Structure 1
Amino acid sequence: MPFTPFHMGPGIFIKALLQGSFSLMVFGWAQIVMDIQPLLVMLSGEGHLHGFSHTFVGATLLAILAATTGKYLALVGLYCFGLNQDWKVSITWPVALMSAVIGTFSHVLLDAVMHSDVQPWAPLHLHNAYLGWLSSEQLHLFCIATGVVGGIVYAILRTKTVRGREDSK
């Protein structure tokens, strides 16, 4: 199913580890961009469900698109959520690109574990060596667990950062 929230679990974990060096909003936008092609296939009934967009070549191209558009969409999103009212938060190009690449490549890898029609290394070869590394249930639990652990780690690190700033005043 396109636009699954499970892909966000690993992203939350990565955000916890990298903090300001990673944009969770650009990562999330990359997840949406990745699933536009499968959505169009589902709506039209024509094409390969996990086609070119779910290859590493396609993911590379979509990462460039997601970084380029996501950098600005994320800032607007932060503003709309009241998290950047003074427009002081910025997302650098390296952060946007890294977040989008991690987003698209992790999307291919997670979907390759679960879906038999994903051909991650096409056009080099059509075999999916990742299929079945984990069961669907294990994969979902992995995504949920990384999201929960990432959320906890992020909250702890942010609390320490805020306390550190207050202590230095």
Structure 2
Amino acid sequence: MPFTPVHMGPGILLKAVLQGSFSLMVFGWAQIVMDIQPLLVLLTGEGHLHGFSHTFVGASLLAIFAAVTGKYLAPFGLFVLRIPRTKEIVFRWWVVGLSAFIGCFSHVVLDSIMHADMQPFYPFAPNNPMLKSISVEALHKLCLYSGLAGAAIYYAVLWFNIKRANN
């Protein structure tokens, strides 16, 4: 699923729970970085669809790349989306790194559940013990519902903080 928004559901929930300790922008960037290799395979017809980039070793390397580039791209993304940068929006290295690693590793886990060509533990093990641990339908629902719950929690916390600040 190249560049699928479905992966964002768990990220939205994490953002709601972790607030300023998690960057949804960097998490989303990590999702895109993870799917560049499969996109190239789809465009060229050459290579392994879920190859090295979709292993935990490959995801670790891509998480480092996503963190370093995301640290500087995230403020630009806020500018493009016209989201005012406030003192609450700080892209600290540990937040960027955590968000990128969670993004890349969660991507491997979610794709491992539904794609038979995944080898998440390569080069240490060629198998995929996560394959079909839940149905694809249940996986999509889990991602969708986590995103909806995350959005509700995030805006409830935001509303509470605004109400508290006005009192």
State whether TM-score is above 0.5.
yes
Q: Deviations over 1:117-168 (max 9, x none)?
A: 110000000100000011111110000000000000011011111222222x
- Contact 2:41/2:49 (<8 A) preserved: yes
Match of 2:45 in 1: 45
Q: Check 1:132–1:86 CA distance in 2 against 1; reply closer, same or farther (3 A cut).
A: closer
Residue in structure 2 matched with residue 29 of structure 1 by the alignment: 29
User: How far apart, CA to CA, are the structure 2 residues paired with 1:86 and 1:24?
Assistant: 16
Q: After superposition, what is the alpha-carbon deviation per residue over 1:65-99, rounded to whole angstroms, capped at 9, x for unaligned?
A: 00111111111111122213678832000000000
Structure 1 unaligned spans of 5+: none
String of CA shifts for 1:5-56, please: whole Å, max 9, x gaps.
1000000000000001100000000000000000001111111100000000
In structure 2, give the amino acid aligned to 1:49: L
Q: Do the aligned partners of 1:30 and 1:103 also contact (CA within 8 Å) in 2?
A: yes
What is the one-letter code of the residue matched to 1:10?
Answer: P
Letter in 1 for 2:90: S
> What pairs up with 1:126-165 in 2 under 5 angstroms?
126-165=126-165
TM-score, with structure 2 as normaliser: 0.96
- Specify the code of the residue in structure 2 equivalent to 1:27: F
Overall identity of the aligned pairs, in %: 57
SS in 2 for 1:118: coil
2:110 partner SS? helix
Q: Is the 8 A contact 2:9 2:146 kept in 1?
A: yes
Task: Report the CA distance shift for 1:85/1:99 in structure 2 as closer, same or farther (over 3 A).
Answer: closer
Q: Distance in 2 between matches of 1:89 and 1:128?
A: 38
Q: Structure 1 residue runs of 4+, over 6 Å off?
A: none
Contact 1:75 1:84 in 2 (8 A): no
Counterpart residue type for residue 162 of structure 1 = I
Coordinate RMSD, CA, aligned: 1.3
Unpaired runs of 5+ in structure 2? none
Counterpart AA for 1:97: G
Aligned residue pairs, count = 167
TM-score (norm: length of structure 1): 0.95
Rounded to whole Å, the distance in 1 between the matches of 2:58 and 2:165 is 43
- What aligned pairs does 1:66-145 form with structure 2 within 5 A after superposition? 66-84=66-84, 89-145=89-145
Equivalent-residue separation in structure 2 for 1:13 and 1:105 (angstroms): 16
